[in-house]
Amino acid sequence: MSNRNAFLVFLAGTLASLVLFLALTWDTHQQVAALTNADKLSEQVVAGKRVFEKKNCNECHTILGFGVYYAPDLTRAYARIGAEGIKTVVLHPETVFANSFRKMPNLGLTEQEATDLVAFLEWTNNIDNHDWPPQDRKYTQSPDQRRLQGAGLSPGAAAFKAQCMGCHSIGGQGGSIGPALDQVGAKYDAATIAAYIAAPTTINPNAKMPPQTNVSEADRQAIGEFLAKQK
Ligand code: HEC
Ligand code: HEC
């Protein structure tokens, strides 16, 4: 191939890529409002975003992939730990992460700031980002996905996997927001654990675990029986 032909191939390839790139960029921008549910950007969501900036959560976390890679990406935090979970984490990180190797400082948020942050993270949770960025494996699964993996387990173990492992671990598997529960049966019996799930402070007045109000009565009994055997 002559130099001239090589140059033409280069030019055609570059121009074609450029046109494609610009067309796809334009197409994406057309869809941003729909993909992000821009109509749901309420004042509270905006207030939550301001808190996120003021407290510089990006110093450790990423959101939509932007930020620092020390702590988990927060785009889907709402799906993983829910409104009460987020509030507990941001208001009492020193208790929640007492057993973790990585720490989150108490940033002195007010109750109102925490509520606004929840609204903001609920909004980001609904952004259709085509699952990008990939989430920290340990933090990715929704309760439904976890429940599916529980097939073949006892009802108590399956319900525990589905609804508690985002925060608790057994045998080294699961989250570290709450304590590992490998020895919990030595401390509480089944009925006490079932009661603890719905209203932790009735069992331990200082408990920082948010009441798990979405767990059904039957699941609480089954989880209680399963956990009482862990000792
Ligand atoms: C100095 C670093 C640091 C800052 C600043 C920080 N965090 Fe964190 N955060 C962490 C670490 C580390 C973890 C995970 C600890 C673990 O899992 O062991 C975490 C965990 C979380 C979680 C739980 C994530 C999940 O999916 O389980 C949420 C929610 C959270 N942080 C929200 C926030 C918000 C909101 C802010 C700003 C107000 C913030 N964080 C500021 C370090 C930080
Ligand atoms: C959002 C995170 C989170 C979720 C979800 C969660 N927990 Fe907890 N749990 C905690 C934290 C944090 C503590 C520590 C409470 C304290 O002592 O202040 C805790 C404590 C406990 C304890 C007491 C442990 C002890 O040694 O005193 C039990 C039992 C427990 N959780 C069971 C469960 C069960 C069962 C589920 C599922 C139905 C569940 N938790 C879901 C965060 C969570």
Output the six-digit token pair for 109. Answer: 């948020």
Q: Is the CB of 139 under 6 A from ligand 1?
A: yes
Tens-digit pLDDT profile for residues 120-175? 999 999 998 887 787 665 555 555 555 545 555 678 888 888 789 888 988 777 78
Q: Is the CB of 133 under 6 A from ligand 1?
A: no
179 CA distance to ligand 2 middle (Å): 7
Point out the ligand nearest to the CA of residue 226.
2
Angle at 95 between CA 94 and CA 100, to 5 degrees: 75
Output the six-digit token pair for 113. Answer: 């700031």
Point out the ligand nearest to the CA of residue 117.
1
- Rounded Cα gap, residues 229 and 168, in angstroms: 16
Output the six-digit token pair for 222. Answer: 């089954």
Q: Is the CB of 167 under 6 A from ligand 1?
A: no
Tens-digit pLDDT profile for residues 84-134? 778 888 998 887 777 667 888 999 999 999 999 999 999 999 998 887 787
Q: Is 51 exposed, middle or buried (0-12, 13-18, 19+ CB in 10 A)?
A: buried
C-beta separation of 155 from 192 below 8 A? no
Residue nearest to atom 9 of ligand 1 (CA): 104
